[in-house]
Amino acid sequence: MKIAFMASDAVAIPAIEAVWKNPKTELAAIVSNPDKPKGRGGRVSPNDVSAWAVSRGVLLLRPEKSPGGDVIETLKNIGVECVVVMAYGRILKEEFLSFAPLGCLNLHGSILPELRGASPIETALALGKASTGVSLMRIVKKMDAGDVADIIETEISPRETGKSLREKIGIDAARLLERNFDKIAAGALVFTPQKDVDATYSRKISKHDLYLDFSKSAHELDLRIRAFGCGIVSINGDILKIGEAFAKDGGKNAKFGAVADVSKDCISISCAEGFLNVQKIQAPCAKMLPVNQFLNGYKIDKGIVFDKFENEKLLK
């Protein structure tokens, strides 16, 4: 079975490798997004999926927009029978969805119909869910609303991070695809319609979501820091990044955002409920440091209050 894989994010690489290595399948092509500027220098670089394809000599197509007739013609000419999509990032036109004899399937990083949309993995963690998963589904025009053929559940560990959860989702996506290769090739997948009434939608995460709103509970902020990679706070015009913290119970606090205590290992910040105990923090133009090293060069006193921010809801 000749498969074209469409992806732009590293989370899809384990599933791509499952196609590449399996003797029953042939990875005929990868369709990804064009190279983009990265980092402070703005150097144009390929995304992780494109770099993987180039390093292994796999045919790589990088259309500027949603793939159209030229890409379809190329994939037809090399005998593509099935298209698999994961974290590609573009809406696919009807003509693309229908050209492959064995269909166009999507691997989505949640147990649908929960967490359709742009950021299901990070949002599941930020919402404090105990588990999430991967769904193998048929692509339709409505976002992530297609019928589902199979799912795998993924446990969210007590101190999970967005990075570690993405790695687990990537591995489970590969397992889910592998166990369905025979059914896909035989056209024997059995699809179950989603219940739209149960659907929830995750939105695209922005930099503003990293700012910490201390009118929330310490537990909520701990989850957000782990889900999004860091938290951002502001004081006296300085933007500081919190790289590691944990929530401590402490009842409700009227003066949230205030520093409740400073020790050599921890900065404790009052939240609407409980305390956020910061263990790693970064000053402007500096490295992320443990609190004891950070305080050698930056003064934070008990009683000072961090600036207020209000976070948008994570679900649409």
What confidence tens digit (pLDDT) does each residue in 250-300 have? 989 889 999 999 999 999 999 999 999 999 999 999 999 999 999 999 999
3-class SS letters over the chain: CEEEEECCCHHHHHHHHHHHHCCCCEEEEEECCCCEEECCCCEEECCHHHHHHHHHCCCEECCCCCCCHHHHHHHHHCCCCEEEECCCCCCCCHHHHCCCCCCEEEEECCCCCCCEECCHHHHHHHCCCCEEEEEEEECCCCCCCCCEEEEEEEECCCCCCHHHHHHHHHHHHHHHHHCCHHHHHCCCCCCECCCHHHCCEECCCCHHHHECCCCCEHHHHHHHHHHHCCEEEEECCEEEEEEEEEEEEEEECCCCCEEEEECCCCEEEECCEEEEEEEEEECCCCCEEEHHHHHHHCCCCCCCECCCCCCCCCEC
Judge whether residue 38 has pLDDT over 80: no
The two three-digit tokens of residue 58, written as one number: 């796999």
Q: Average the pLDDT over 111-133 and give the result.
A: 98
What is residue 253's predicted lDDT score, i.e. its pLDDT? 86
CB 272 within 8 A of CB 214: yes
Give 43's pLDDT tier (boundaries 50, 70, 90): confident
Judge whether residue 177 has pLDDT over 80: yes
What is residue 44's predicted lDDT score, i.e. its pLDDT? 84
Domain residues of the chain, as ranges? Answer: 2-202, 207-297
pTM: predicted TM-score of the whole model, two decimal places: 0.95
207-297 has the same fold as 2-202: no
Judge whether residue 163 has pLDDT over 90: yes
Q: Which fold has domain 2-202?
A: Rossmann fold (3.40.50)
Q: Average the pLDDT over 232-240 and give the result.
A: 95
Q: Average the pLDDT over 5-24 and give the result.
A: 97
The matching CATH number, chosen from 3.10.25.10, 3.30.2350.10, 3.30.1490.20, 3.40.50.300, for 207-297 is: 3.10.25.10
What is the average pLDDT value for the chain, to the nearest integer? 96
Give 115's pLDDT tier (boundaries 50, 70, 90): very high
Judge whether residue 39 has pLDDT over 80: no
What is residue 257's predicted lDDT score, i.e. its pLDDT? 96
Q: Which residue has the higher pLDDT, 44 or 199?
A: 199
Judge whether residue 40 has pLDDT over 80: no
Judge whether residue 134 has pLDDT over 80: yes
Give 42's pLDDT tier (boundaries 50, 70, 90): confident
Counted residue by residue, the chain has a size of 316
Q: Average the pLDDT over 26-37 and give the result.
A: 94
What is residue 190's predicted lDDT score, i.e. its pLDDT? 98
Of 38-47, 75-84, 112-121, 219-228, which range is least confident?
38-47
pLDDT digits (tens, 9 = 90+) for 187-234: 999 999 999 999 999 999 999 999 999 999 999 999 999 999 999 999
